[in-house]
Structure 1
Amino acid sequence: MAVTPESLSGQDVGSFAYLTIKDRIPQILTKAIDSLHRHKSEFFEKHGEEGMEAEKKAISLLSKLRNELQTDKPIIPLVEKFVDTDIWNQYLEHQGHLLHDSDEKPRWFYSPWLFVECYMYRRIHEAIIQSPPIDTFDVFRESKEQSFFESLESIRSLCACLQETLGTPDALHGERLKAEFFKFLQISLWGNKCDLSLSGGESRSQKTNIINSLEDLKPFILVNDMERLWSLLDKCRQAQGSAAVRVALVLDNSGFELVTDLVLADFLLTSKLATEIYFYGKMIPWFVSDTTARDFKWLIDQARQSGHQGVSKCGGDWGRYVETGRWVYRDHVFWTLPHEYSAMAQVAPDLYAELQMAQLVLFKGDLNYRKLTGDRKWEFTVPFHRALNGFHPAPLCSIRTLKAEIQVGLQPGQGEQLTASEPTWLTTGKYGVFQFDGPL
């Protein structure tokens, strides 16, 4: 049995994990505090003095969290009762047992990076739910909405492109269908560049028309399993008869990236490559720009109300897909736990069983990739199947631009060549993958 490598962590000084904990996470916490400050008058108008006191309390809790992190204090259990509090605290206790001295508590720079980062966002949520009556406030909402509005020109181009494709009679048949499928897959991949947690909450809007860049971006796809995705879905489509073909899409960022995902999902449905799409988002605000149920509904409503014909047509169609059950949005507590996905069958058997009902599961983005592979120091050439560590609910594919120091499934020498020519290739979002695991 091959040894599973150790987790990425902040104890590797100068690593991306270290710089995230040292610089990016405090920056994100500062922006969360600023967001509360900016809404002070709104809290007062809605809730009077009680709203003002709640704002002060939330800020105080977030400032305490920032101090704990910056001084590498022990990581403390969650105190406010929520649906996942006990699971989190058990996980935290387990992290303590993994340390050489069992009396020692896990600390920020010495614990697995994936755990620390997830814990930080869960603590932000705890600070808010401990501060009623503002306990449903999303400290990241403004930046998510801003990213959408700043990307409007690109969104209009994308929706117009979809409408034009769907309105072209031969676009949904034969080789042309395959080419269009590949086009919308690539649009969804490069949409993953717009990530507010990578930029520390600074704007990451999409200003250029992504469609015109697809050919130029192709050399930056390091693992390209699009043919295998096509083969799988085409086979399902030809065999389906009256059987449903479910594609599950585990979402990443809201805003522009979510539009690229909805456009892909619309294409899959209209071309009959899928008969139903299940979208999976987060129960609570997460990693700055991750999609929640509110973000999903808000974006469809925005599209529906748009003055742009292509965008409003998309919004209307998307709303109807949701209403008729052809698109289903789901969230589950597991997506905001610190566990890697190989633990899903044990920790969330209901979710695992639901994913097993899909013919294909698409995992968008970097955090999903980190959880799929356990966020470990894998060699570049380790097969993706091996790094999944037993997680195989259904044929699955990671669609991801690289923003963390982890990548598997490369050809011998490929990673080393990239490191020699571009030392930061793993973390800038410049490179992407379509990495498939399923029947050959």
Structure 2
Amino acid sequence: MAESPEFLTAQDVGSFAYLSMKDRTPQILTKAIDTLHRHKSEFFEKHGEEGVEAEKKAISLLSKLRNELQTDKAIVPLVDKCDDTDIWNQHLEYQRSLLNDSTGELRWFFSPWLFAECYMYRRIHEAMVQSPPIHDFDVFKESKDSNFFESQESIDALCLHLQQLRPVRELSEKQLKEEFLRLLQISLWGNKCDLSLSGGESSSQKTNVINSLEDLKPFILINDTEFLWALLSKCKKTAAPPVVRVDIVLDNSGFELLTDLVLADFLLSSELATEIHFHGKTIPWFVSDVTVRDFSWIVDHVKDSNQKATSACGAAWDNYVKSGRWIYHDHIFWTLPHPYCVMPQVAPDLYAELQKACLVLFKGDLNYRKLMSDRKWEFTFPFHQALSGFHPAPLCSIRTLKCELQVGLQPGQAEQLTASDPGWLTTGRYGIFQYDGPR
């Protein structure tokens, strides 16, 4: 295994990371506090004075967290009693052991960037856990739901497109491949809708992305979709018993999740897969990440649509869930600060689950950062090596670029991009399909 470079920190990775930690994250906390305050009457109606006191406590804890972050205070151990608390506190000790600082204190702006961001969201969860009876309130729910409703026209257009393909089995091999590649691209560009980057403000999809695909193709920096088609086509023909499992490690709820569900539907309808396993978060995370509640909520809302094609999609998806062809998983590992290369040691059950897949699709920026251990690799460093031994099954990262981290580029490609578009790493304008597996 190649020697790994240093972890990315808010200070040394560049302006994007530093501003994200210094400006965007307090904005996210402010919005969470405002959300709690606006639901005060709802908490009173449900729980009486106990609900009001809980709201005050949660706001106090989040305000304290915001102050710690903004003033670069020490990062402190978790005090709740959740299943992952001990794992988190052990990791805090590990991070402290790496310090050269004579004070021995982990601080926000000088800690590994990914660790600090994950820790902030875990502290948000802690604030809610410590505030019963409103402990299961999702402070990001409104933002996620709004993203879905504001993207309604695009959602209806995409569902209509999917319904017009039916029966999918009657498509020729050429048509199947064209649609597979098209829906993969739609899933990629759906990843632009990331609420954690906008501080929880709207980032919905208001145009029909289907009509934009040709114009967007030049912005795909690495396109390994032909390998995905070849792999699934082979699995479809050779699987014995005839089970072709595709796992999707989800990123954002709202419009992006909708694009993932459309892709998953097509995989089943085309018999490129026989079952789809979705992996989401156990707790609210990075503002817009998918939880089981988000997954079920979107299936239900699509099913209840007054648009015929949209509701037909929802009915099919509800049936996939009930029949066990779509299976949703969550696991605490996805909300730990660990890179994925340690999954066999930290979460061997999850690693064994991924090993059952013919293909694992990792959606979004956060998954990419964890696949890459969030380290400062050279732009041309091979993707396979940067995975640092994480090879449970053939896998593909599908992401739009929103952080200063990318590997596997051609020599000179990064330099050309920097010259023509200095912000290319962080704007979400560019995307990749980066594959690791048999070729």
Pairwise TM-score range, normalised by the shorter structure: over 0.9
TM-score using structure 2 length: 0.98
Describe how 1:163-312 pairs up with structure 2 within 5 A.
163-167=163-167, 170-171=170-171, 173-240=172-239, 242-312=241-311
How far does residue 101 in structure 1 lie from its aligned partner after superposition? 4.3
Residue identity matched to 1:303: V
How far does residue 166 in structure 1 lie from its aligned partner after superposition? 2.3
2:134 is aligned to 134
- Hey, what's the Cα distance between the residues in 2 that align with 1:13 and 1:207? 32
Q: Does 1:62 align with 2:62?
A: yes
1:44 is aligned to 44
Describe how 1:373-412 pairs up with structure 2 within 5 A.
373-412=372-411
How far does residue 304 in structure 1 lie from its aligned partner after superposition? 0.7
Describe the SS at the equivalent of 2:360.
strand
Give the length in aligned residue pairs: 439
- Hey, what's the Cα distance between the residues in 2 that align with 1:131 and 1:238? 53
Residue identity matched to 1:398: S
- Hey, what's the Cα distance between the residues in 1 that align with 2:291 and 2:141? 10
Q: Does 1:157 align with 2:157?
A: yes
Deviations 1:135-179 (A, max 9, x none): 0000000010000000000000000000111236642x3111111
How far does residue 17 in structure 1 lie from its aligned partner after superposition? 1.1
- Hey, what's the Cα distance between the residues in 1 that align with 2:402 and 2:301? 29
Deviations 1:323-366 (A, max 9, x none): 00000000000000000000101100000000000000000000
Describe the SS at the equivalent of 2:108.
coil
- Hey, what's the Cα distance between the residues in 1 that align with 2:119 and 2:226? 37
Describe the SS at the equivalent of 2:155.
helix
* Contact 2:169 2:269 survives alignment (8 Å): no
How far does residue 259 in structure 1 lie from its aligned partner after superposition? 0.3
Moved more, 419-428 or 113-122: 419-428
Describe how 1:30-109 pairs up with structure 2 within 5 A.
30-101=30-101, 104-109=104-109
- Hey, what's the Cα distance between the residues in 2 that align with 1:162 and 1:364? 21
How far does residue 227 in structure 1 lie from its aligned partner after superposition? 0.4
Residue identity matched to 1:254: S
Moved more, 93-102 or 195-204: 93-102
TM-score using structure 1 length: 0.98
- Hey, what's the Cα distance between the residues in 2 that align with 1:233 and 1:279? 17
- Hey, what's the Cα distance between the residues in 1 that align with 2:401 and 2:418? 13
Describe the SS at the equivalent of 2:276.
strand
Describe the SS at the equivalent of 1:96.
helix
- Hey, what's the Cα distance between the residues in 1 that align with 2:169 and 2:241? 23
* Contact 2:393 2:437 survives alignment (8 Å): yes
* Contact 1:306 1:312 survives alignment (8 Å): yes
- Hey, what's the Cα distance between the residues in 2 that align with 1:118 and 1:410? 27
Describe the SS at the equivalent of 2:165.
helix
Describe the SS at the equivalent of 1:109.
helix
- Hey, what's the Cα distance between the residues in 1 that align with 2:382 and 2:13? 28
* Contact 1:170 1:176 survives alignment (8 Å): no
- Hey, what's the Cα distance between the residues in 2 that align with 1:130 and 1:312? 39
Deviations 1:210-268 (A, max 9, x none): 00001110000000000000000000011135421000000000000000000000000
How far does residue 190 in structure 1 lie from its aligned partner after superposition? 0.4
Q: Does 1:8 align with 2:36?
A: no
* Contact 1:237 1:273 survives alignment (8 Å): yes
Residue identity matched to 1:32: A
* Contact 2:169 2:270 survives alignment (8 Å): no
* Contact 2:69 2:108 survives alignment (8 Å): yes
- Hey, what's the Cα distance between the residues in 1 that align with 2:169 and 2:46? 53
How far does residue 422 in structure 1 lie from its aligned partner after superposition? 1.0
- Hey, what's the Cα distance between the residues in 2 that align with 1:244 and 1:102? 56
Moved over 6 A (4+): none
How far does residue 272 in structure 1 lie from its aligned partner after superposition? 0.3
Residue identity matched to 2:358: Q
How far does residue 105 in structure 1 lie from its aligned partner after superposition? 1.7
* Contact 1:96 1:103 survives alignment (8 Å): no
Residue identity matched to 1:54: A
- Hey, what's the Cα distance between the residues in 2 that align with 1:164 and 1:26? 45
Describe how 1:323-402 pairs up with structure 2 within 5 A.
323-402=322-401
Describe the SS at the equivalent of 1:427.
coil
Describe the SS at the equivalent of 2:391.
coil
Deviations 1:183-217 (A, max 9, x none): 11001000000010011111001000000001110
**Consecutive unaligned residues in structure 1, runs of 5 or more:** none
**Consecutive unaligned residues in structure 2, runs of 5 or more:** none
Describe the SS at the equivalent of 2:110.
coil
